[in-house]
Amino acid sequence: MAQLSKTWWGNKFITALETFTDSGRLSRGRSYRNSDRIRKLDITDSVITAEVRGNVNPYFGVYKEPIYKTEIVVHSISPAQWTAAIAYIASKASFISKLLLNEMPDNIEDAFTQLNLNLLPKSKKDFSTDCSCPDYSNPCKHIAGVYYRVAAELDRDPFLLFELRGISREKLRSELAKTPLGQALAAELDIQATPSRSTDSFYTRPTFLSVPTQTTVKDFWQGAKPLPKEIERPPQSSVSGILVKKQGDFPPFWNKDQSFVAVMEEVYDRVKSKNKDLL
């Protein structure tokens, strides 16, 4: 099956749904995931509401295009369970370093599995759904369409998955930053991230030096000391990618299908290989 999401976590969300949802019913919702069908979508905490445009069907007496209201409630992880999960995540540098850089660790589910929890949906018990359409099966094609739309929203903001499970991005980062490892990493990131400075000009202005009156033409052009036979190379400097990584894979200004971080990594590699003799 072709991938319907741009990121691994969006595809994992869909894959998780397919493990406990009838694949035929779920596939019917793919054509309903676009904006021309889902006219309104709102995600507040763990509640997803949407207005979905239905079909005219005279056979069932539907002569006017209906608008169905759907609601999906994602069951939250309890505060006590989140405390345990954050403590475990904060003990692993591979988890906490990526999360502080707005990246989603590809093995983040392992942290929850260790605590007999799941971040991604695991069964129908993780949802409560409702739709105003006459189809009483769960999910109907309208709810399935909203599922796929949520996967697209996760592509743009992977931290939405945490919010759906009961903790906001700000709360998560704040709690991680309070831990000993989080404090050390946050301090290191603050050191490496150089703040931008405003300037009046992007060019270096020349400075004028007075020439001694006794200087001859020969001294002026050749100097009093001979030039060194070999010029020492400056020390190799590394360009920090902290500011780039803090933007995440799909920041608001990035409208490409490919990850912003992946593109910038390719640019860095090309510049480095092109100028390898100078570095």
Each residue's pLDDT tens digit, 93-144: 888 888 877 778 888 888 898 889 988 888 888 888 999 988 877 788 898 8
Please report which confidence band the pLDDT of residue 1 belongs to, taking 50, 70 and 90 as the band edges. Answer: very low
In this prediction, residue 5 carries a pLDDT of 62
Domain residue limits at 50? 1-76+120-158
Residues 247-279 pLDDT 10s: 777 777 887 777 888 888 888 888 777 766 655
- The yes-or-no verdict on residue 193 having pLDDT over 50 is no
Instruction: Establish if 36 belongs to a structural domain.
Output: yes
- Reduced to 3 states (helix: H, G, I; strand: E, B; else coil), residue 246 is coil
> Residue 186 has what pLDDT?
67
- Whether 94 maps to a domain, the answer reads no
Over residues 166-194, the mean pLDDT reads 75
Round to whole Å and give the CA distance between 66 and 86. Answer: 44
Q: Are 19 and 127 in contact (CB under 8 A)?
A: no
pLDDT of res. 216: 74
Distance CA 207, CA 196 (A): 25
Tell me: pLDDT of 197 over 50.
yes
The percentage of residues in the chain with a pLDDT greater than 90, rounded to a whole number, is 13
Would you say residue 221 lies in a domain? no
Query: Do 162 and 118 contact (CB within 8 A), yes or no?
Result: no
| Residue 207 belongs to some domain of the structure | no
**Assigned domain for 115 exists:** no
Residue 9, in any domain of the structure: yes
Q: What is the pTM of this model?
A: 0.64
Please name the residue that has the structure tokens 């990035």: 254
132 or 61, greater pLDDT: 132
At 272, list the tokens: 């480095």
Q: How far from 122 is each of 12, 28, 89, 140, CA to CA, in Å?
A: 11, 21, 20, 19
As for how many domains the chain has, the answer is: 1
Residue 245, in any domain of the structure: no
Position 51 scores a pLDDT of 93
pLDDT of res. 224: 67
The fraction of the chain above a pLDDT of 70, given in percent, is 81
Q: Which range among 197-206, 217-226, 266-275 has the greatest average pLDDT?
A: 266-275
Predicted pLDDT of residue 235? 60
At 28 the pLDDT is 77
C-alpha closest to that of 57 among 48, 65, 68: 65
What does pLDDT average to over the chain? 79
Q: Is 158 left (phi over 0), alpha (psi -120 to 50) or beta?
A: alpha
Position 16 in a domain? yes
